[in-house]
């Protein structure tokens, strides 16, 4: 197999995933060929098949790895569980924004390229996404049950909150007028309002 000087199999595999993520996010899965990916990695196109069966398997691998990383990061974050639903909601919102904004390309393809998965692969990724959504649903259900939140349908609340938070990826840029912490504080207040929680007794950043 043709390799970059000094590269190892693990490095080539990592380069393959990084190149595919960048190209899929920039041009779209359908428009990118394995030959283009190989050119970025610096190997012959045929060498890629030592690491992945085909382009579909590569897309699935990227999305599955994304969900695995997200689940592991949340497990670490929630190891020190917040004491009540209101605090848990804040923990989730801040985690979701910080984690996803650090992985803009991976987040983009994890949503925009789902349609290009085979039905079997789509079902697997959707199941993993539901597991993550269930975390927020559990927080909302606990809040409703204890009277902290006023929300007629928690699952719709989950979809609305995650869509709201994911939207930050489309416009946020580090070094802008507001820092990520300031943006997180504003979005947290919007989420609190959406679930019927009384506004937190804290000052918002000057806008």
What are the DSSP calls for 113-177, one per residue? TGGGS-HHHHHHHHHHHHHHHHHHHHHHHHHHHTTS---S-HHHHHHHHHHHHHGGGGT--TTSS
The domain 1-52 is classified under which CATH number: 3.40.50.800, 1.10.287.470, 1.10.10.60, 1.10.260.40? 1.10.10.60
Name the strand (E) or helix (H) holding 194: helix 180-194
Give the whole-angstrom CA distance, residue 4 versus residue 14.
13
Q: Which residues contact 96 (CB under 8 A, 6 or more apart)?
A: 162, 165
Are 197 and 89 spatial neighbours (Cβ–Cβ below 8 Å)? Answer: yes
Instruction: Specify the CATH superfamily of domain 55-194.
Output: Tetracycline Repressor, domain 2 (1.10.357.10)
Are 164 and 62 spatial neighbours (Cβ–Cβ below 8 Å)? Answer: no
Give the whole-angstrom CA distance, residue 10 versus residue 8.
5
Q: What is the pTM of this model?
A: 0.86
pLDDT per residue of the chain (207 residues) written in tens, 0 to 9: 334 444 568 888 999 999 999 999 999 999 999 999 999 999 998 999 999 999 999 999 999 999 999 999 999 999 987 889 999 999 999 999 999 999 999 999 999 999 999 999 999 999 999 999 999 999 999 999 999 999 999 999 999 999 999 999 999 988 889 999 999 999 999 999 999 996 543 334 444
Domain ranges for the chain, please list them.
Answer: 1-52, 55-194
Closest CA to 191 of 110, 99, 97: 97
Are 73 and 80 spatial neighbours (Cβ–Cβ below 8 Å)? Answer: no
Q: How many CA atoms lie within 13 A of 191 on its CB side?
A: 32
């Amino acid at each position: 197999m043709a390799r970059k000087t000094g590269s190892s199999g693990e490095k080539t595999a990592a380069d393959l995933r990084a190149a595919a993520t960048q190209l899929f996010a920039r041009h779209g899965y359908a428009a990118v060929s394995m030959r283009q990916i190989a050119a970025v990695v610096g190997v012959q196109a045929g060498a890629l098949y030592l690491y992945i069966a085909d382009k579909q398997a590569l897309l699935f691998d990227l999305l599955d790895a994304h969900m695995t990383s997200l689940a592991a990061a949340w497990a670490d974050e929630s190891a020190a569980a917040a004491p009540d639903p209101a605090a848990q909601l804040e923990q989730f919102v801040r985690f979701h924004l910080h984690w996803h904004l650090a992985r803009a390309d991976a987040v983009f393809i994890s949503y925009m390229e789902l349609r290009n998965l085979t039905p079997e692969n789509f079902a697997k990724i959707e199941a993993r996404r539901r597991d993550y959504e269930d975390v927020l649903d559990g927080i909302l259900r606990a809040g409703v049950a204890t009277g902290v939140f006023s929300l007629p349908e928690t699952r719709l609340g989950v979809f609305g909150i995650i869509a709201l938070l994911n939207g930050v990826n489309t416009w946020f840029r580090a070094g802008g007028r507001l820092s990520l912490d300031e943006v997180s504080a504003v979005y947290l207040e919007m989420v609190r309002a959406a679930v019927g929680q009384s506004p937190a007794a804290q000052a918002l950043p000057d806008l």
